[in-house]
Chain A
Amino acid sequence: MIEATQTALTPSEVTKIMSTEALAEYRQKLQAQYDPNAPMIYVCCGTGCQAAGSVDVVEKFREILVGSAWDGKVVPMIKPTGCHGFCSRGPLVIIEPQDIFYQRVTVNDVQEIVEKTVLNNELIKRLQYKSAGAKESITKASEIPYYAKQTRLVLKNIGRVNPTEIGDSIIRNGYAALAKALTQMTPQQVIDEVSSSKLRGRGGAGFPTGLKWESCAKQEGLRYVICNADEGDPGAFMDRSLLEGDPHSVLEGMAICAYAVGSHRGYMYVRAEYPLAVKTLTTAIRQAEALGLLGKNIMGTGFDFEVTISTGAGAFICGESSALMASLEGKVGRPRPKYIRSVEKGFRDSPSNLNNVETYANIPSIIANGGNWYKSYGTERSSGTKVFALTGNVFNIGLVEVPMGISLMEIVFGIGGGVPNKRALKGVQTGGPSGGCIPIPHKIPDINVGYGKLAEVGSIMGSGGMIVMDEDTCMVEVARYFVNFLVEESCGQCTPCREGLTRMKEILDRITQGDGREGDIELLEEIGKFTNNFSLCGLGTSAANPVLSTIRYFREEYEAHIRDKKCPAGVCKKLFHYEIDPDICTGCGLCKSKCPVKAISGEKKKVHVIDQSLCMKCMECYKNCKFRSVKIM
């Protein structure tokens, strides 16, 4: 990770902030040193962009900029930031004050960017972003539809602060909400404000956060505040992005919670596969403690709150609240069979308030701006915004933060840029591995994304996974994929989940292999309802969702697999073959040149044919035919 050297003040140079006024003064001092017109180069250093080489990009910028002669000009500052959420275009560079957006920047582009763009305001076309199908490239980050159509409340600092530099957060009002809570509000007032915001937990179940805090505050004795940063849903990375890009918002949210519920000890349970997040958090906690914003006697108010980081055991099930607490205690991460809530008896049998990363990260703005402000976003039952991890068959893959109640079609087309390769949209899977498939736009034209609406159509909000599926997606295979994931991740202790999922997987395996039997659909439904009702924990009680929702909306696809031994989407290899439609084929020969096993023959300008005995169904001809003459049969 890159150490911060650019910002003027590092915590070691200042003494502890001993009052809330001192925090305000410190902020003003930092703001005074900051020239909004000075050139500033933001380089995304999230996990995705780092993997694509952004650390080298930062180093190159430093090499060129630091120590060069600037003829009276202001030296540009370089800021490595957390993940912007647009990883598929990384490494990303944004140049202020002009808000110039460059994508897929490599070390070799840096010299040119400095010479042309930073010094002479000249744009480099090849690095600019173009919307799908558009001719003109877009200059400003804020004009790219992907960003322009989002409402970034919780992600507001990401991409704008250096996460290893607490001063960056403080300039942008970091810890001001904590100061407000500690000096101007009683714990009950804090809880009331959170309740009035109608914020619901972002970790999956959507439990009202204010209500949870209220019940925890009522308990006696030692209490714990725990942050669930296990983020086990494959494909979801909003929590990682927050921890790596804006750790202080999460820490501040936890500290506010601790004050509200009367706790002095906090734990962050971070997924073991997130080393960068752990590192960034460690730095953030150290810096906040050095400044007196965490730890003993915070800002001289007498309030103590210490945070410890614990790395997860690397299992999906450890994200479940009781398994998480067992794991934190050093025991095997298995859900506990207790009908008692962790706000009453959780970690070490003490009252424990567990919230998700995104939930905590929403808290500072709610305290600063009020619950009514937060509630003005979103809908009556689902207030505020939610970050989704948009992925699958969609142009713009990445994190999107939108107000609750937004149209799903708007997310896919407006922000996501639609489905690539001229394919039609078949559905959207939401809620992670135990979510459901929503058949937009054909069977359900559109929905407004919120907790209630998603449940109504048989899916869940989950932690915000969102997979766009095009017409080439086989829904039986989708169900099989998720059940397979859950079988592996089930802790195995209770019969319905362990045995039921095993059998569902067995049945789905045989259906996709062409050995499906009459009655299999009904059997899947029967087992699915059973596992949903009889399992011990949330994994088992939601595990059948992908199966039940695909049966609900795509039953005919299951039937085609079982009765006709056909996979209409052309995915299950044993259940389809390709044929070239002689009425459409122009004999261009592209398929013939693409076929890796030379299964296609035909003379130029004459109809081509596929030799079925050679074809290995790799999809090359199907994907590449410009006239779509290759048909799934």
Chain B
Amino acid sequence: MRVLNIILNGKAVTAREGQTILELAQENGVFIPTLCHSPALEPAAMCRLCTVQVIEGGRAKFVTACNFPLRRDAEIRTDSPEVRHGRKLIIELLMARCPSSPELQRLAVEYEADLTRFSSLNDDCVVCGLCTRACEAVTGKTLSLAGRGTAIHVSTAFAKISDFCIGCGACVQICPVQKISMEDVDGERHILLHGKIVSQVKLPRCKSCGKYFGPVIDLEKVMDRMGEHLIPPPNADTCPECSRHNLAVKLGKRYFEQYGVFREEGQADAG
């Protein structure tokens, strides 16, 4: 692998060929703000918050740090006045849509955003595409970006309650503005986009403790993948907690049979 000589904010550092600017910056303790990036997912470079200036072969240009692969020696400015100014505008524009996001509020302070310049559009979504990419990585089909221009939005196919959702909650976890939520109600898991139910997944009831637990489809998928080789096979009618407990009891019994010190205990709390 070729080693590249990079001037990062005036400091000489080395980089591996193909490494992104964001990775290099993180290795060198330089913070670049990101909104649509997750190291677990393919970069989409949609928010543009991570934009920096690169001077390669004498030509300066603006590129996004999260997906720009370093291929030759270059100078990088991650915090120039031009860069900071652009980020300030991105924050101002997004704050007009999502004023309640703590992440954006924090950035607004750091970049001295003027929040009076753009009237509120109260849309709630910053269109970072993290949920759709996370979903794609898990099931591939439930959430996607639909529409064009300002009408672009996260949606299930034809805005109908989705049949593909496995209720994994990855979208809920990853949303940077907390606009996707999850509720388990009466044996069903609901995923809510801006408060509106977009999927309903049936939850199984644990035969040991009676609690509803992880969605059935999820387990079926796992069993599909693991096949018959997994011993013991995952138990679709016992919750993970009880499964763990039951296994411990079994092992404990064996231990007692060998060493004679096992205290029988009741089942896991059915709370």
Binding site for B on A (CB under 8 A): 315, 317, 332, 334, 337-340, 487-496, 498-503, 506, 523, 526-527, 530, 533-536
Interface digits, B132-149 against A, CB 8 Å rule (1 contact, 0 not)? 000000000000010111
Residues of B within 8 A of A488 (CB): 148-149
Decide if B117 touches A495 in the complex (CB within 8 Å). Answer: no
Quick one: closest A residue to B67, CB to CB?
Answer: A337
Q: Could you say which residues of chain A place their CB within 8 Å of the CB of B97?
A: 499
Chain A nearest CB from B113 CB (Å) reads 13
B48 is contacted by which of A332, A502, A534 (Cβ under 8 Å)? A534
Given A337-B43, A337-B44, CB of A500 within 8 Å of CB of B150: no
- Say whether B46 contacts A536, CB under 8 Å: yes
In the complex, A355→B47 CA distance in Å? 30
Q: Which residue of A lies closest to B145 (CB)?
A: A493
- Describe B's contact surface by its main secondary structure: loop
Instruction: Note all chain B residues with C-beta closer than 8 A to A506.
Output: 119
Tell me the minimal C-beta distance from B264 to chain A in angstroms.
59
- Determine the chain A residues whose CB is within 8 A of the CB of B127 once the complex forms: 492-493, 495, 498
Shortest Cβ distance from A535 into B: residue:
B48
B64 sits at the interface (CB 8 A): yes
A491 and B93 contact, CB distance less than 8 A: no
Q: Are B90 and A496 in contact (CB under 8 A)?
A: yes
CA distance A24 to B49 in the complex (A): 61
Contact A500 B152 (CB under 8 A): no
Docked-complex contact A494 and B118, CB < 8 angstroms: no
> Is there an interface contact between A339 and B147, defined as CB atoms closer than 8 Å?
no
- A-B complex: 5 closest residue pairs judged by Cβ atoms: A492-B152, A337-B45, A499-B93, A490-B149, A492-B149
**B111 CB within 8 Å of chain A:** no
- With A339-B68, A530-B85 as given contacts, are A492 and B147 in contact (CB-CB < 8 Å)? yes
> Which of chain B's residues 176-230 have a Cβ closer than 8 Å to chain A?
none
6 contacts between A and B (CB under 8 A): A339-B68, A488-B148, A492-B127, A492-B151, A493-B127, A495-B126
How would residues 19 to 58 of chain B score, 1 for a CB under 8 Å from any chain A CB and 0 otherwise? 0000000000000000000000001111111010000000
Rounded to whole angstroms, the CA-CA distance of A339 and B68 in the bound complex is: 6
> Given A337-B46, A338-B67, A533-B62: A495 and B90 within 8 A (CB)?
yes
Q: How far is the CA of A498 from the CA of B64 in the complex (A)?
A: 17
Name the interface residues of B105-137: CB closer than 8 Å to any CB of A.
Answer: 117-119, 126-127, 129
Interface string of B62-100 (1 = CB under 8 A from A): 111001110000000000001001100110011011000
Contacting residue for B148 out of A337, A491, A495, CB 8 A: A491
Q: Does B86 contact A534, Cβ atoms closer than 8 Å? A: yes
- How far, in angstroms, from A513 to B47 measured CA to CA in the complex? 32
Is A494's CB under 8 angstroms from B93's CB?
A: no
Residue of B64, B117, B118 touching A337 (CB-CB under 8 A): B64
Whether the pair A315, B148 counts as a contact (CB closer than 8 A) is yes
Name A493's contact: one of B46, B62, B85, B94 (CB within 8 Å).
B46
Q: Would you call B45 and A498 a contact (CB within 8 A)?
A: no
Inter-chain pairs besides A492-B145, A494-B47, 13 sampled, C-beta below 8 Å: A489-B148, A490-B149, A491-B149, A492-B149, A492-B152, A495-B127, A496-B86, A498-B152, A499-B93, A500-B93, A503-B118, A530-B86, A530-B89
- Contact check, B63 vs A339: say whether CB atoms are below 8 A apart: yes
Complex Cα distance A501/B85, Å? 17
Residue of B nearest to A493 (CB): B46
CB-defined contacts of B64 to chain A, threshold 8 Å: 337, 536
Q: Whole-angstrom distance between the alpha carbons of A337 and B127 in the complex?
A: 15
B94 partner residues in chain A, CB cutoff 8 A: 495, 499
Chain B residue, CB-CB nearest to A335: B45
On whether the beta carbons of A487 and B150 are closer than 8 Å, the reply is yes
**Cross-chain contact B67 with A495 (CB below 8 angstroms):** no
A493–B90 contact, CB under 8 A? no
Given A339-B67, A534-B86, A494 contacting B46 (CB threshold 8 A): yes
Please name the residue on chain B nearest to A315 by beta carbon.
B148
Are A534 and B67 neighbours in the complex by a CB distance under 8 Å? no
Contacts known (A339-B67, A533-B86); A492 close to B48, Cβ less than 8 A: no
Note all chain A residues with C-beta closer than 8 A to B147.
Answer: 492
B42: min CB distance to chain A, Å: 9
B153: nearest chain-A partner, CB-CB = A492
Residues of B within 8 A of A494 (CB): 45-48
Report how far A340 CA is from B254 CA in the complex, Å.
60
Question: Nearest Cβ in chain B — how far from A227, in angstroms?
Answer: 24
Given contacts A494-B45, A530-B85, A530-B89, contact A523 B117 (CB under 8 A): yes
**In the bound complex, what is the Cα–Cα distance between A536 and B47 (angstroms)?**
9
By a CB distance below 8 angstroms, the chain B residues around A535 are: 48
Nearest CB on B from A99, distance (A): 48
> Whose C-beta in chain A lies nearest to the C-beta of B94?
A495
- Residues in A whose Cβ lies below 8 Å from that of B46: 337, 493-495, 536
Nearest-CB distance from B4 to chain A (Å)?
15
Interface residues of B in 247-269 (CB under 8 A from A): none
